[in-house]
Structure 1
């Protein structure tokens, strides 16, 4: 289901200020109206705590308070554990709730939030939000899929792919280990031009990667059951997952994880890959079977992998993925550029202020439920 994106004015310099939509016109009117209300009647935004993005969420809370909006903060999260938001932490009084992927927003969570107008995820991922429950309850959902974030993730994905194909980690290890350049007459790198690159998932990030791969001259095969074929450019072949795994020199995973596709890349799919092939995952750790991948990497059944996301974060010290010479591990930060982080804050504020003035979020995941949402707003009035 396609997200709704409404362009917002771009700032000319990075700062903590929101875009013009929140400092003039209807946005400013909503802010001034909120400031004029007594505290007991001001809109309330509930914001979770997340140790991986606490500074950003603190900045968000400060910006909202500066606009006359009451802010309630949730309890501290436990690293490596994703649990439902408990009752009695302020969510029941919230008009809008800001979640992250470290907290489950399930049907029970949404049902206890009797005043809730919207759920807003600060980042792009919504795998911990029960979208069906939100639709059933008439709750609109926004998230942080700003253009800067999409571009940053696409560029970072290409970086990881090139790193694998050109053996940058191997070359760097020769230098850091004071070893001489090998003179065996063999080339250890492989060009992206002419390589077959498989894409699993053609959402906004997957499509942005696809566009950049075409510029490199790669052959692209893709598995994306929900893709609109009319939007797929010439030269990109949509096919089944097994074919993508079997034919590709490198597979990139960009699928949005849902209950029906967790573990999509399992032992059987990995076994289909060429022994010279690589795998890149910047989607979610739950998209693949990490133990099966570790076994394949250790046995040399595939050439290597680059992973930025894991089923448990931070990655446990005893993970079988650690210590392997043919895997690149990054701690879910590979696409976190200055520009993307500024955009996450900007879009979160835009989403919240849009809902408070009665509009859909700027980046809306479920715009198709707008009639039910309008009905919920009328009932809450």
Structure 2
């Protein structure tokens, strides 16, 4: 029986032990796995750039040592660079338990014959639920009253009509994007009695039928009292919501973003909150992370902020480990990989 050495490079979110448990469960019967667990420091130490790859945790030296003689690596954030690949010729499969393998040099991996897999949809439920939490919090002004009460101030004046929030039922809510996250948010909002509008140029009307109405962006902004962003960042969508788009929304609207900070002009948001054009906003993503100490968002009333944690739940960690372990199982059985980022390697 041939032993396959697998490196489980976990961190403090997707724990090494979670990888090991799911690898054992996914391995074909009779497979002999030698699993080496290593612990990367994220999120206690922020991820960053390692050589030519982004959003990685750990060092090239650490991974070269761990991958010596290994055929497979499963990880969330370990780097895969040209230097690592050159030093580890036995590596054949590198599985990243994230929505995209940004911590892997795909071109170098392809040259070295290493298949790189990823875990799409692992955090769709968590992000959708967090989005709904921010929508509700921003619509009812929970951020400000929470802060006041924590400082011992009981703000009964929030019952003033002009300070009261809005309900989801019978409101028009616009979602920019109808992918794995946006579609989940839409179904819950519809169940709560909202009229849901969707703008997504890549979705056909029949996909949203019975849940939402597919409309142009201009119409969505004009009609929606609450707008939530769920688009990917592309050349087309970068900065898609700015001062003009916010001005097109009904006065006293709410804007939420749990997608990507680059979609939105945050200075325009602060201006709109100051003027009353926006009554509230909720954000989990920002143009610069961590948010700089002097950023306007931190002092502008009406904003509910969370530090890019929408995709974080215990269930996400389990799903992430399970998805990549499934790829390892397919690899060991000689079956096609489900989510390979560089399929040219497979065609070879």
**Do residues 231 (structure 1) and 191 (structure 2) align?**
no
After superposition, the Cα gap between the structure-2 partners of 1:228 and 1:188, relative to the gap in structure 1 and judged at 3 Å, is: same
The residue that corresponds to 1:123 in the other structure is none
Q: How much has 1:319 moved relative to structure 2?
A: 2.4
Q: How much has 1:86 moved relative to structure 2?
A: 5.8
**Do residues 377 (structure 1) and 346 (structure 2) align?**
yes
**Do residues 260 (structure 1) and 236 (structure 2) align?**
yes
**Do residues 115 (structure 1) and 112 (structure 2) align?**
yes
DSSP 3-state at the match of 2:121: coil
The residue that corresponds to 1:162 in the other structure is 136
CA distance in 1: counterparts of 2:279 and 2:183, whole angstroms = 25
What is the correspondence of 1:125-144 to structure 2 with a 5 Å cutoff? 142-144=118-120
DSSP 3-state at the match of 2:249: coil
**Do residues 325 (structure 1) and 301 (structure 2) align?**
yes
The residue that corresponds to 2:11 in the other structure is none
Q: How much has 1:238 moved relative to structure 2?
A: 0.5
**Do residues 213 (structure 1) and 181 (structure 2) align?**
no
Cα deviation code 1:88-147 (max 9, x no counterpart): 2437845334566898579xx433221244333xxxxxxxxxxxxxxxxxxxxx32413x
What is the correspondence of 1:341-352 to structure 2 with a 5 Å cutoff? 341-352=317-328
TM-score (structure 1 length as normaliser): 0.68
**Do residues 152 (structure 1) and 126 (structure 2) align?**
yes
Aligned equivalent of 2:169, options 179, 187, 193: 193
Number of residues paired by the alignment? 310
Cα deviation code 1:323-380 (max 9, x no counterpart): 2121111111134121122222222332344345443444x377xx9xxx3x64353x
The residue that corresponds to 2:7 in the other structure is none
- Of structures 1 and 2, the one with the larger relative CO (CA 8 A, separation 6+) is 1
CA distance in 2: counterparts of 1:72 and 1:183, whole angstroms = 50
CA distance in 1: counterparts of 2:321 and 2:77, whole angstroms = 21
| Native 8 Å contact 1:254 1:283 kept in 2 | yes
5+ residue gaps, structure 2: 1-14, 49-55
DSSP 3-state at the match of 2:116: strand
CA distance in 1: counterparts of 2:331 and 2:289, whole angstroms = 32
DSSP 3-state at the match of 1:246: helix
After superposition, the Cα gap between the structure-2 partners of 1:302 and 1:189, relative to the gap in structure 1 and judged at 3 Å, is: closer
After superposition, the Cα gap between the structure-2 partners of 1:68 and 1:15, relative to the gap in structure 1 and judged at 3 Å, is: closer
CA distance in 2: counterparts of 1:285 and 1:73, whole angstroms = 25
| Native 8 Å contact 1:91 1:112 kept in 2 | no
DSSP 3-state at the match of 2:240: coil
CA distance in 2: counterparts of 1:221 and 1:205, whole angstroms = 15
TM-score (structure 2 length as normaliser): 0.73
| Native 8 Å contact 2:251 2:276 kept in 1 | yes
Cα deviation code 1:210-234 (max 9, x no counterpart): 1101110001111011113222132
**Do residues 308 (structure 1) and 284 (structure 2) align?**
yes
CA distance in 2: counterparts of 1:161 and 1:91, whole angstroms = 48
| Native 8 Å contact 2:199 2:216 kept in 1 | yes
The residue that corresponds to 2:92 in the other structure is 95
DSSP 3-state at the match of 2:157: coil
DSSP 3-state at the match of 1:88: helix
5+ residue gaps, structure 1: 1-13, 40-46, 78-84, 121-141
| Native 8 Å contact 2:141 2:280 kept in 1 | no
DSSP 3-state at the match of 2:319: helix
DSSP 3-state at the match of 2:268: helix
The residue that corresponds to 2:8 in the other structure is none
Q: How much has 1:277 moved relative to structure 2?
A: 0.5
